[in-house]
Structure 1
């Protein structure tokens, strides 16, 4: 059923066409949260590499400073998320990411079939892979923060040794690194998706091919007002 103007305002939808025939996919708050989180994650991983990889540690030096940067970049990772919560569009996307629909299972089955084209994979604003990635990375960040705090404040939970916390922290750090490499490779292979995250707008043909349920759910007349948030 097509969305009305009132339902658009309530759900915080971003499917709004502009005068060039493109559709608004992400609002300013969503893009800023993504960029800030990405920068903090990159800083955290680079500082970790300078602490644990011998040649890099010798090259960079200043180990206490690097350790401080690593600790505070890690503890700050949830900050962009918290600052983005006042945005209705951001909260609407969180609800989308937290909802696994029947067509998401169809998307996963299509992915497992070799030769399945993106157009054969039904997806809403976020496909099943993006939902799984978002849930996994959110959980991994929380575990990384918990184990990091246990190493930072060794007496926080006496029953858990620093060695155990360090083992889980290091193992999960490698897992996050490989997952982020895969995420980056996927992004590099999809220029239109990168454009949507950079400017907020994507082409209608791309949306119809990659996220057909998104347009169907929002309706053809959803949010026909002019763009009101130029690229920051």
Structure 2
């Protein structure tokens, strides 16, 4: 007797436990670094702080341990798979960001698990984090470098911090517009309809994988 084809799942697993915790801890550290930086550099906020040295210490340590969650997460296969996806641009990504800026993400074309905008954001934040850690260390230990190094590091660190702050605010703003994307990051699951609407190529991959698994189980029986 031929079995009927399996129904496609109503929900898809988008993120595992490792990915969600890496995102949560990294975003928490990033926000601590951004907020403390704002209180250190903006005069009207600096006036509200009584223990500036403590604020500097919190800012320094939030920045220096920022990569730790990601380094710990590399030991998990699911996170390594997501990093490979973020690091690879496919044919579907060509021109995606330009179309998204003109017509919106839904009209920009089919996307994989991560669209081109998310890949660009991840690349810029990763690069900026490394540069800011390096310049931050120069500022943290001023006696180990020359004045020209300290001056240049301060200039790069401050302007890069402003750029990162704007990008993170934009990232949060985009997330606030998409409750199901936030639900997916919080629980790890998203509806099949959302996946097909926002990440069609990834939804196809997941449904094909589920179909293959169903067929393999049928053969085993």
Q: Aligning the two structures, in what range does the TM-score lie when normalised by the shorter sequence?
A: 0.7 to 0.9
CA offset at residue 80 of structure 1? 0.6
* Kept in 2: contact 1:106–1:122 (CA 8 A): no
Matches within 5 A, 1:206-217: 206-217=194-205
Of the three residues 18, 25, 39, the one matched with 2:28 is 39
Question: 1:199 — aligned with what?
Answer: 187
**Alignment length (residue pairs):** 206
CA offset at residue 76 of structure 1? 0.6
Q: Which has the higher contact order (CA 8 A, sep 6+)?
A: 1
Question: 2:164 — aligned with what?
Answer: 176
Matches within 5 A, 1:17-56: 21-56=10-45
CA offset at residue 59 of structure 1? 1.1
Q: Residues 166-189 of structure 1: CA distance to partner in whole angstroms, max 9, x if unpaired?
A: 111000011011111111110000
Q: 1:113 to 1:52 in 2, by over 3 A?
A: closer
Gaps of 5+ in 1: 1-16, 226-232
Secondary structure of residue in 2 paired with 1:202: strand
- 2:104 is equivalent to residue 95 of structure 1: no
Two-structure CA RMSD over aligned residues (Å)? 2.0
Of the three residues 99, 107, 112, the one matched with 1:110 is 99
Secondary structure of residue in 2 paired with 1:60: coil
* Kept in 1: contact 2:15–2:185 (CA 8 A): yes
Gaps of 5+ in 2: 1-7, 215-221
Q: 1:110 to 1:43 in 2, by over 3 A?
A: same
TM-score (normalizing by structure 1)? 0.82
Of the three residues 123, 148, 157, the one matched with 1:135 is 123
Counterpart-to-counterpart distance in 1, 2:108 and 2:163 = 30
Matches within 5 A, 1:156-171: 156-158=144-146, 160-171=148-159
Counterpart-to-counterpart distance in 2, 1:100 and 1:155 = 42
Secondary structure of residue in 1 paired with 2:142: coil
Q: 1:155 to 1:113 in 2, by over 3 A?
A: same
